[in-house]
């Protein structure tokens, strides 16, 4: 499985000519990075994905919106030159159903600041974890819609 995925993706890669590192790049199977780099030609890239384990940590009023805007601006730069590249943000877990009425819905905040790009959250932070092992449920339809976004 790993050798199959390695033909199609690069972890912590770049698009040639852009200083921004993306956590995951989905590219053509025969794509080769530029010599001595992890930079792929944008014509060979299908998708760039920013991946987080648990969203962005920081001050809700300043730091978090700024961090999401920076990600969105990086996506904008790529899309400007290569409009066919799909840009997505994937978080493994985030607070999307806060317990207290005045608590922050970080998923909603992320969606707002990342629009028009896809935000995908696989589980709510309240999901069960046993150490590092996930024992909860994946949010209904999130994985399917994420994959659909990448393959459109």
* pLDDT tens figures, 106-139: 888 888 999 999 988 887 776 555 556 655 556 6
Mean pLDDT in the chain?
A: 78
Q: Residue 71's pLDDT is what?
A: 93
Question: Residue ranges of the alpha helices (H) in the chain?
Answer: 2-8, 63-81, 106-114, 142-150
* pLDDT tens figures, 60-103: 778 888 899 999 999 999 999 899 999 999 888 787 777 788 88
* Confidence at 151, pLDDT banded by 50, 70, 90: confident
Asked if pLDDT for residue 7 goes beyond 70, the answer is no
Number of domains in the chain: 1
Question: pTM of the prediction?
Answer: 0.78
Joined together, the tokens standing for residue 146 give 């994420």
Cα gap 67→64, rounded to integer Å = 5
Q: Residue 17's pLDDT is what?
A: 65
* pLDDT tens figures, 13-33: 656 666 678 888 888 888 888
- Give residue 91's domain range: 2-150
* Confidence at 3, pLDDT banded by 50, 70, 90: very low
Long-range contacts of 21-30 (CB under 8 A, 24+ apart): 22/48, 22/49, 22/50, 22/74, 23/49, 23/50, 23/51, 24/48, 24/49, 24/51, 25/49, 26/150
């Amino acid at each position: 499985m790993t050798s199959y995925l390695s033909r199609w993706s690069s972890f912590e890669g770049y698009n040639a000519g852009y200083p921004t590192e993306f956590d995951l790049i989905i590219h053509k199977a025969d794509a080769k990075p530029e010599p001595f780099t992890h930079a792929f030609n944008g014509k060979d890239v299908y998708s760039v994905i920013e991946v987080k384990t648990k969203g962005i940590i920081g001050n809700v009023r300043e730091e978090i919106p700024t961090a999401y805007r920076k990600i969105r601006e990086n996506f904008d730069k790529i899309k400007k030159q290569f409009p066919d590249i799909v840009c997505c943000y994937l978080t493994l877990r985030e607070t999307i159903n806060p317990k207290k009425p005045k608590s922050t819905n970080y998923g909603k905040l992320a969606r707002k600041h990342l629009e028009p790009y896809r935000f995908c959250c696989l589980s709510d932070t309240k999901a069960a974890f046993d150490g590092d092992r996930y024992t909860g449920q994946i949010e209904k339809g999130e994985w399917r819609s994420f994959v659909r976004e990448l393959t459109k």
